[in-house]
Each structure stands twice: as structure tokens, then as C-alpha cells.
Structure 1
């Protein structure tokens, strides 16, 4: 088993552009032209190719690129008993004026989890670890799961199933903790909580719209969702590295939210008990680096300074200058570099080519080696 731990000086969030043959296979599967076993064979082949490419360009972390998922978060939720979904017939979430085609997902009963499909997915990936690489698993955070079903448009349905929000929160912690034990037993030692909740909370108006809460009720809700993450972390095996990625939305090169980290820094950076934060910092929507001073303990920060939303390569000198700007608030030895988000949070992917994707990652590595050394 690899003993390497994330993050690395040059790193990435997790998802990658789906190869054309994988897109075609998924379309054929949905049309009934191929069966599940044939689809899985294509997925396996594409994941092998992804891992080989990551090793070829010198990265130390590997993922399956989220190649078996339609979306970064919902597929994980579908692995829980009590959660079902159906194809949406029209765009149901708006990202910077673009309607996203994301499956309708809803609860049908109390949630639980056993033999989650992501565990088998991870077992396939883990076989490719070697002395230079380690596999990480990305999942939506407990906070994300809870918020999805307790928002302005979903809370009433949840309260038809659970008597109280507290009862639902208790089941979220229980189910997540059981999943963590399952994937730990499968050999996972690096887990990432992907979290768009805080990416929404940075925008005060959007936070109210999404949660249906304001004032003291909203502040209480923020503490509740943060505590969910911390409870799952507290129950996890001590040698399991748990990091988080905070995202403002990433669908087809569009975004969902804008806002600096200032308004959430005390809670998010001060009180969440993760090992490291992968943070979006690729444009003005993310604000400045001053909130990083709120980081407590020895927590690490992976600066997402290279965008996955556009194909143009960043100016190396400007990225290096921004790293040193961040160094004013947190020591350089606790800083790392990555793209700001995945390249394909949903199957549709962002608006760049696979060649441009790899050029971005090569640039990240080149800059990191110049700043921190090889």
C-alpha cells in the first residue's frame, strides 16, 4: 500500500474530460445498444489510459477521473438507500445563465448505505498505485449531502420522511461514517470532500436563496453543516487523510456563485478539521488571499490558480507572483498548487480539449517545481 499523502506541491482536484469513446459508450448504454458489462469495460480501459498519462507527466496522485459518473455529486448520492433519481427533461439548475441538464434526485425514505458502488470503483483504481503514486477518492462532503436535501426547495420533502432536521443530520453522519469505513477497508487512505455549499455561502444573497434561511437562522445552519463534516472526520480512522475542495460551480466552463472567502473564513478555515483545502483562486470571483490568515493549526492550502474553464495557458510569472502574494498570509511550506477545479465536474466537461487539459497540468507542475524545487 502506498504511504504517500495528499496534497502534493503540484496537484489536481479530481475530474477529467471524458474521452470520446467513453461518451459514446455511455450514450450507447442509455440507448440500450450495449449492456452494463460492455460499458464497464470501456470505463476500465479509459481509466487505465488516464492513470498512465498522469504517471507519464509525473503526477503523484491518481484518480479515476470520475469517469464512471454523470455528475461529481449525485452519482454518490444514488448509492444510498432512500435516494432515487430520474432523467431531467429540461435544464434544472442555472450556471451563469446556462441551464444544466442534471438528473432530478430525491429522497424516498430514510437513508442508509451498504456496499456503496464507489468502493468497488476505488478497488479498481487502487491496483495502479506504485512507489510514486497514491490513489485518492473524491466524494461530495457530508455537508453537501445534507444541504442538498435541506435547502429552500427540498426541506419540506425531507421533513415528510424525517421528523426533524436533527434526525436527518444524525443519519447523514451515520451513513457517511459507514461509507468511510467501507472505503478505508478497501485501502483508501486519501479522501476528498468536494463542497459547493461553502462556494454558495460566500455569496450572501445566494446563501439565503439556496437555504431559505437568513439572519441568525442562516448562521446556525452554517455551523450545523460544518459540524456534520467534523463529526464524520472525527469518526474516521486516524491515518485516513481527509481534504476538502471548495467550489463555486463548474458546469461546461460556467459557474454558479461568486464571492470572496472573507465571510466564511472564520468557520470554514478556522473550525473545519480537514488536512488541506483545495481553493478556487483563478479569477476575481474568489477575492483576495487575506482570509487565508484564518487557517488554524498546520492546515494546508492548495491554491487553484490555474483555471480549468478556459484553454488559454496562464502566464507563469503572474502565477508565481500570486503564490508569493498568498505567502504573506500563510507560510510557503503550507502552500501547494493545482487547477481551480476539475476539468469535467459533469459528463459534458469544460470547453477545452484533452490536449489543452494536459497542457494545464504540465504548467502546474512546471510552476510548482520552480517555486518549491523538484
Structure 2
């Protein structure tokens, strides 16, 4: 068994398609037909069933599929003290679609309270299920600190930032502390793997955006250093047996994407300097560019190649995936590489355009290739 296999294990990036029964229950809850406790019971059963299926699929680290969330990121932000749920007036603009218009905006100073933040209670349930069935370990996925910063300074949201944080260093410090406190709370409840999902770097990758005046100003603003400071500050001085991974995403909404481009523009920052254990990277299409930026991954950090897409149910050619793994190994040793799908199957509750059967077939193919390449 290789070091990579021992450290990473077979795991999915995070989210799964919401079962139809859960989708209907959420709609009924929103219309007032189900109480909060009614909905939670249904969520509990759906999550327990999912974890059993994850174990049967051979996954070594499992998640709750993000079944209690509407969004992969916003629900976590709304749990912080000083952050509120508002409607922005327009959604995020993806390549072909616009999302719903929810956002996170400041209502005060940011802090973390383990009693009021729902994700701690949510993790407790996952841990109780994994303890009960045995053979799998729970993984907690949360949006990266950099992602919260990007949301808070988005357009008109930034006016609230200026109101509560005239000094940006105070904002950075409070985000770092809130995240650090949250991570320690998850650790205290039993998680040993936390994944920071991060789309904030995507803006630096997209040549079409960077060619615009706004894009050039953004790229030249020094914000990469701010994002790196936020992430590294939040994960500083953590227990030695806690693994911190990151998933760098180009957007995943209803099988659509937000950004294209090679990792080259951020490699010197995020690959060389972010203090994580493992990078989960999207390499499922030509939009991601080549593997050359992997040469910038510093130290003994690992890379999980997201070579199978979650945006389509069509299965990739097995040999093509194996060939690409070996191509990537020209830039980073094979024993520091691993394989996964490129993203979750449902980063928002809408889900991607594929079936539940197809999502499990994708994972089956990933597992079989892992077993062959890293045998």
C-alpha cells in the first residue's frame, strides 16, 4: 500500500444528488407543510442511507452529501455570527445559466459559535452513523475562508464590510479566527479530515475575464496574497493528526461552469505556498489546461486529479484516464497523485444533469482505476 493510498484514501469531493423524496420534503417544508423537526428526520434517513451506499461503493471517507444545504458555501457562511442571508438581486453568472440570487452579507462582526452554527450538530449525526456502521471515516467539507471574503466584498455587499471593518486587517483577522474556531470545533467532535472548497482562485484563471478592464484590475490588485493569507491563517496551529485538504473549483451549477483556464496564473501562490496537505484539482476537460503547473506544488503535498466529470453521466474511457494520470506524473511523482471525480454531483440542491445510477457508476470507475494504478 503506497503512502498516498494510506493518507488520502478513496473519497469523493463532497456532494451527491439529492434523492427525490428529500427534494419534495424540502419543498413541502418551505411551503409550511413540514416542521423543521419533520424535515430533519427525513434528512437523517436520507443521509444514513447515503453513507451506507458510500461504504458499499468502497469509499473510505464519507460525507453527508451536503444534503442539508441549499448551496455548497452559503449555508456555512450564514451560520457565522455577524453574517446574514439576503437576496442580492441577481445570481452568479455561469457560462450558460444564472443561479438563484442568495448571498451572504455582514450584519455585524464575524465570529463562530459552536452552539448556534448548525454544521457542528450536522457533523455529529454523520459521526454517529459512521461509528455505528464502522469501516468508514467522516469527512467535513466547508467553503474556504477566501471564499467568504470574495462573497463579502461582492458588489454592494462591500458597503457592509466598510461599515463594520474600516480596517481590512481586522476583517482578515476575524475571518481567520472564526474559521480556526470552527475547524477546532469539528476536530473536537471527531473529524480528522476537513476539505476547504475554493472557487475564489477561478477568477485568475479565466482569460476572457482577465482581458477586460475589470479583470486586469482584479489580477493586479494583489488580492491573491490576501486570499492566501486568509486560508493559511485559518489553518495555522492545528492538531498534527488533522488533515486539511482543498478543492479548487471552476464552478459547478446544474452541470454548468463559471471559469476556464490553466492553473498557471495561481500556481506560484496556491500550489507553492498554501499550507494544505492535498489539492483536489479539476482536470476533467481541456478548460483546465495542461499538467505543467503541478510542478509548482511544493514539499510533499499530494494532488488528487479530478479527471472524471460530474457534469455528465457519460462514462470516460478507462485507458484515457490512466494515460492522463501517467502524463501528470511527469510533473509530480505518482506516489503523490491520486484520482477522483472533478467536483461534487450537486454543489447546489438543483444538482447536475445526470442520474443517481450514473453518479455511482462514476465512483465505481474511479475506484477500479485507483485499484489498478496504485495497486
Which category describes the TM-score, using the shorter chain as reference length? over 0.9
SS in 1 for 2:142: strand
Aligned to 2:148: 145
Alignment of 1:1-374 (within 5 A): 7-8=8-9, 10-86=10-86, 92-115=91-114, 116-129=117-130, 132-204=135-207, 206=209, 214=217, 217-218=220-221, 220-373=222-375
Q: Does the CA contact (< 8 Å) of 1:80 and 1:113 recur in 2? A: yes
Count of residues in correspondence between the two structures? 367
- Cα distance in 2 between the residues matched to 1:80 and 1:207: 32
| Cα distance per residue 1:279-329 (max 9 Å; x no partner) | 000001100001001011100000000000011000000000000000100
Deviation at 1:358, TM superposition (A): 0.4
- Given that 2:123 and 2:140 are in contact with CA atoms closer than 8 Å, whether structure 1 keeps it comes out as yes
Change (3 A) 1:207 1:223: farther
Aligned mates of 2:70, 2:213 — CA distance in 1: 23
Give how far 1:210 is off: 11
Residues 187-237 of structure 1, C-alpha deviations (whole Å, 9 max, x = no match):
11110000000122212553697987727852x211111011111111322
Alpha-carbon deviation of 1:104?
A: 3.3
Mean Cα deviation higher: 205-214 or 291-300: 205-214
Q: Which runs of 5+ in 1 are unaligned?
A: none
Q: Which deviations, in whole Å up to 9, do the C-alpha atoms of 1:324-345 show, x marking residues without a partner?
A: 0001001101111000000000
Q: Is the 8 A contact 2:74 2:103 kept in 1?
A: no
The Cα shift of 1:7 comes to: 2.1
Q: Which is further off, 350-359 or 224-233?
A: 224-233
Counterpart contact for 2:313–2:354, Cα < 8 Å: yes
Q: Distance in 1 between matches of 2:19 and 2:297?
A: 38
Aligned-residue Cα RMSD (Å) equals 2.0
> Aligned partners of 1:201 and 1:171: how far apart in 2?
25
The offset of 1:6, in angstroms, is: 5.3
Q: Take 2:57 and 2:101, find their aligned partners in 1: how far apart are those partners?
A: 33
Which deviations, in whole Å up to 9, do the C-alpha atoms of 1:56-89 show, x marking residues without a partner?
121101100000000000000010111111457x
Segments of 5+ residues of structure 2 without an aligned counterpart are none
Instruction: Rate the CA distance shift 1:113–1:208 in 2: closer, same or farther, 3 A.
Output: farther
Q: Greater CA deviation, 97-106 or 65-74? A: 97-106
Cα distance in structure 1, aligned partners of 2:298 and 2:64: 31
Distance 1:209 1:197, change over 3 A: farther
Residue 40 of structure 1 deviates from its aligned partner by 0.2
User: Does the 8 Å contact 1:151/1:211 carry over to 2?
Assistant: no
Distance in 2, Cα, partners of 1:246 & 1:197 = 8
Which secondary structure does the structure 2 equivalent of 1:235 belong to?
A: coil
Per mean C-alpha deviation after superposition, the further-off stretch among 146-155 and 187-196 is 146-155
TM, length-normalised to structure 1: 0.93
Q: Please give the alpha-carbon distance, in whole angstroms, between the structure 2 residues aligned to 1:239 and 1:97.
A: 42
The 10-residue stretch of structure 1 (108-117 or 351-360) with the greater mean CA deviation from structure 2: 108-117
1:128-153 Cα deviation digits (max 9, x unpaired) = 33553111000000111112112454
